[in-house]
Amino acid sequence: MIFSSFFAALGQIGDRRFRKVLMLGVGLTFALLVAVFAALLWILQVMVGDTAVIPLIGEVTWLDDLLSWSSFLVMMVLSVFLMVPVASAITSMFLDEVAQAVEDRHYPQLPEPHHVGFFEAVKDTVNFLGVIVAANILALLLYAVLPVGIMIIFWGLNGYLLGMEYFTLAAIRRVGRAEAVKLRKRHRGTIWAAGALMAVPLSVPLVNLLIPILGAATFTHIYHKLTARA
């Protein structure tokens, strides 16, 4: 079910409406990565002065460094970790549009969904983002203790967190918050496994730009398949 949902999402990339959302999502994802990386460079410069030599990055001159090819490569490497909160934010922004495109093509018999209000959506985004950032900061301790298991911990932790977010947001559109939480608890194992499938390519530079939107589409399929079996 998980793989069939993912390949169904992947197969819809050619859909004109879906492709528009996908390209917009990729563009905003890249813009957010650049913004976060620029902020990190600016903080480094504030902390160490106008010019400093930083391992892997070299001489930091903020704007000049931001526009360099070496900076782009460093940003791609950092995206392995930066993409988790970025994926959370982008999915929250676009899930409703992605889910509607998926449902129009694959589940046309469904009634109109419940559209989450703007402020409620912002609240969900901030809450999910806060949990993800806090959990990954705490995970740094595990990385230090178990360096050989860094990627397994990373995939397991973020697969769980992103899976819970993606599924909850997809389910709220159809059954409301309370029932979405019940379904999430009932299918925790499946959701975690599907979230891990999303987390693994998030650690691959450039490929990870596609995952927030594909993840939203995949979990829309997963929600409908799980509820159809119930």
Q: What is the pLDDT of residue 126?
A: 83
What is the rounded CA–CA span in Å between residue 224 and residue 132?
Answer: 25
Burial 21-56 (b: 16+ CB within 10 A, else e): bbeebbebbeebbeebbbebbeebbeeeeeeeeeee
Q: What is the pLDDT of residue 44?
A: 62
Q: Single out the residue of 13, 9, 32, 33 nearest to residue 23, CA to CA.
A: 13
The span from the CA of 34 to the CA of 51, in Å, is 20
Rounded-to-integer distance, Cα 203 and Cα 18, Å: 24
Domain boundaries of the chain, sorted by first residue: 2-31+78-229
Which residue ranges of the chain lie beneath pLDDT 50?
A: 52, 54-57, 62-63, 67
CB atoms within 10 A of CB 122: 13
**51: number of CA atoms within 13 Å, CB side?**
2
pLDDT, tens digit, for every residue of 112-122? Answer: 888 777 677 77
